[in-house]
C-alpha cells in the first residue's frame, strides 16, 4: 500500500505521541481541500 495516503484523524497531541510513519495529520474538513486528486487512494485512521 505504498501509493496510499495515510491520514491520521486523531488529536494533534495523539499524532505527535505516535503515528504511522509517513502518515499525515489532517482533519476531515481539510481532506477535500488538501487532497486534490480524486484517484488518490486514502486510508483514514483514528
Domain count for the chain:
1
pLDDT for residue 2 is more than 90: no
Which has more pLDDT, 43 or 32? 43
pLDDT, residue 3, reads 80
Please report, for residues 12, 14, 22, 27, the alpha-carbon distance to residue 17 in angstroms, rounded to integers and kept in the order given: 9, 5, 14, 17
Q: What is the mean pLDDT of residues 20-32?
A: 93
- Contact, 35 vs 5, CB < 8 A? yes
pLDDT, residue 15, reads 98
The answer to whether the predicted template modeling score (pTM) of the entire model surpasses 0.85 is: no
Q: Which three cell numbers stand for residue 14?
A: 495523539
Q: What is the pLDDT of residues 8-22, one digit of tens each?
A: 999 999 999 999 999
Rounded CA separation 17/37 (Å):
29
Q: For residue 45, give the nearest of 24, 3, 2 by alpha carbon.
A: 24
> By residue range, what is the domain housing residue 31?
5-45
Amino acid at each position: 500500500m505504498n501509493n496510499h495516503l495515510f491520514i491520521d484523524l486523531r488529536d494533534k497531541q495523539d499524532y505527535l505521541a505516535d503515528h504511522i510513519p509517513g502518515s499525515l495529520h489532517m482533519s476531515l474538513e481539510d481532506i477535500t481541500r488538501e487532497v486534490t486528486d480524486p484517484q488518490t487512494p486514502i486510508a483514514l485512521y483514528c
